[in-house]
């Protein structure tokens, strides 16, 4: 059989092979870990050539802070998988968010951020950038092409996230991007939930795509890392800002991320199947007011999700009907298989209560019942359901006793 061209292979295959060059490392399958700061040149000609190559943004190893073959493997793989031009790695997802925002703004600019965006990303805007003269405005995530009414001559960045962090609103990314680009604004997206496998950012009008690789790319809850990939046009500003801010990733974390990427397609498929089963079951529970998961046909964002996305990951939220606080604590505290913790994307199931009402700026959170987010891990779905079912028994018993 003839060798397939790079453009002909499927994403599951691409995730396994992208960024790996065994021939450069004596045939070793995984790119090795380079612990490096100084890189020695054998002579002045080599030193000068490295200087020229770095100035011209050519691949190579010049100094540890600028990357090594370990980080290059991950960057190449993510960019290829997502259809981007180039990518940069960062020491955390939040570091990736911050650098991506800082790269495309200056004093006097106006930035639009979805009101459903990741909380720390919001803070980078209204708490950090605002100190340097950047005006931040939050907008209704469901605004679609109506964002035109909010655009100003000095609007330089529009931040999107689909589905929304915690609350899972589906944004019409192509419609928003079309309006933003007519104004000359850069569209920055947090694409962590879908990963490069399930949403092709650049094909839908995004200029800069952020991933908290700590989550599904690493996949094992044991490394902190972020990745930003861009179009060719957006690349120079990101690369310049990355260099100026001295963002450096530990080589072991980069190694764990590129290793995790190889199994992400298989893991993500299982996470999504389990999440769908859990959400379908939870939607039948009398204690539940609403399940927030765009892969459900009953979800308000399902039509956009089905149009633009290639799959759904294992993260969703649940809103309960109002219950006593002690009853909710009994539900949470007795769970055996769901860890009470932040983050997600690892092999283990997690649960985390939240209340978005205090931070909303452009929209009103209408629910009064307790909300919580679940990450469906790789445990057997029947065990996960049984654990939640026992939790509802405790919730109902405690709620009854409190009346």
| pLDDT tens column, 366-390 | 999 999 999 999 999 999 999 999 9
The strands making up 110-114's β-sheet, listed across from edge to edge, are: 86-90, 226-230, 208-211, 186-190, 155-161, 110-114, 135-139
> Which pLDDT belongs to residue 322?
95
User: Distances from the Cα of 87 to the Cαs of 73, 235, 361, 396, in angstroms?
Assistant: 10, 8, 32, 49
Q: What is the 3-state secondary structure (H, E, C) of the chain?
A: CCCCCHHHCCHHHHHHHCCCCHHHHCCCCCCCCCCCCCCCCCCHHHHHHHHHHHHCCCCCCCCHHHCCHHHHHHHHHHHHHHCCCEEEEECCHHHHHHHHHHHCCCCCCEEEEECCCCHHHHHHHHHHHHHHCCEEEEECCCCHHHHHHHCCCCEEEEEEECCCCCCCCCCCHHHHHHHHHHCCCEEEEECCCCHHHHCCHHHHCCCEEEECCCCCCCCCCCCCCEEEEECCCCHHHHHHHHHHHCCCCCHHHHHHHHHHHCCHHHHHHHHHHHHHHHHHHHCCCCCEEEEECCCCCCCCCHHHHHHHCCCCCCEEEEEECCCCHHHHHHHHHCCCCCEECCCCCCCCCEEEEECCHHHCCCCCCCCCCCEEEEECCCCCHHHHHHHHHHHHHHHHHHHHHHC
> Which pLDDT belongs to residue 6?
67
Q: What is the pLDDT of residues 37-68, one digit of tens each?
A: 999 999 999 999 988 988 888 888 888 888 89
Question: What are the chain's domains?
Answer: 8-261 (3.40.640.10), 265-402 (3.90.1150.10)
Which segments in the chain show pLDDT lower than 50?
1-2
> Which pLDDT belongs to residue 4?
57
- The tokens 């002690």 sit on which residue? 326
Alpha-carbon span 217 to 220, nearest angstrom = 9
Would you name the residues annotated as active-site residues?
65, 118, 190, 215
Alpha-carbon span 398 to 329, nearest angstrom = 9
Alpha-carbon span 163 to 182, nearest angstrom = 24
Nearest CA among 206, 209, 245, 207 for reference residue 226: 209
């Amino acid at each position: 059989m003839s060798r397939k061209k790079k453009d002909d292979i499927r994403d599951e295959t691409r995730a396994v092979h992208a960024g790996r060059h065994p021939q450069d490392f004596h045939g070793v399958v995984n790119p090795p870990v380079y612990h490096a700061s100084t890189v020695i040149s054998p002579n002045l000609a080599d030193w000068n050539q490295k200087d020229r190559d770095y100035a011209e943004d050519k691949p190579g190893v010049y100094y540890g802070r600028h990357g090594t073959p370990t980080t290059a493997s991950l960057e190449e793989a993510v960019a290829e998988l997502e259809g981007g031009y180039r990518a940069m790695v960062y020491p955390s997802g939040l570091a990736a968010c911050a650098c991506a925002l800082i790269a495309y703004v200056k004093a006097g600019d106006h930035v639009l951020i979805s009101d459903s965006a990741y909380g720390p990303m919001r803070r980078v805007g209204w708490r950090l950038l605002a100190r340097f003269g950047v005006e931040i405005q939050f907008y209704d995530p469901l605004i679609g092409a109506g964002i035109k009414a909010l655009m100003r001559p000095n609007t330089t960045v529009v931040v999107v996230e689909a589905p929304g962090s915690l609350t899972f609103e589906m944004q019409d990314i192509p419609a928003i991007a079309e309006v933003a680009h007519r104004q000359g604004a850069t569209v920055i997206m947090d694409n962590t939930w879908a990963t490069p496998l399930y949403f092709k950012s650049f094909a839908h009008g995004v200029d800069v795509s952020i991933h908290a690789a700590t989550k599904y790319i690493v996949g094992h809850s044991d490394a902190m890392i972020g990745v930003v990939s861009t179009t060719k046009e957006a690349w120079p500003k990101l690369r310049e800002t990355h260099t100026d801010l001295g963002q450096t990733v530990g080589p072991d974390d980069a190694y764990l991320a590129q290793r995790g990427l190889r199994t992400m397609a298989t893991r993500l498929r299982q996470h999504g199947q389990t999440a769908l089963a859990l959400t379908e079951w939870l939607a039948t529970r009398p204690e539940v007011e609403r399940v927030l998961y765009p892969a459900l046909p009953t979800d308000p964002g399902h039509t956009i999700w089905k149009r633009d996305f290639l799959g759904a990951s294992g993260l969703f939220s649940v809103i309960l009907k109002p219950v006593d606080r002690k009853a909710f604590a009994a539900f949470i505290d007795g769970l055996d298989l769901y860890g009470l913790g932040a983050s997600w994307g690892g092999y283990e199931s997690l649960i985390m209560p939240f209340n978005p009402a205090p931070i909303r700026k452009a929209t009103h959170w209408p629910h009064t019942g307790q909300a919580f987010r679940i990450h469906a891990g790789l445990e057997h779905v029947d065990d996960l359901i049984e654990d939640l079912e026992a939790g509802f028994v405790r919730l109902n018993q405690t709620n009854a006793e409190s009346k």
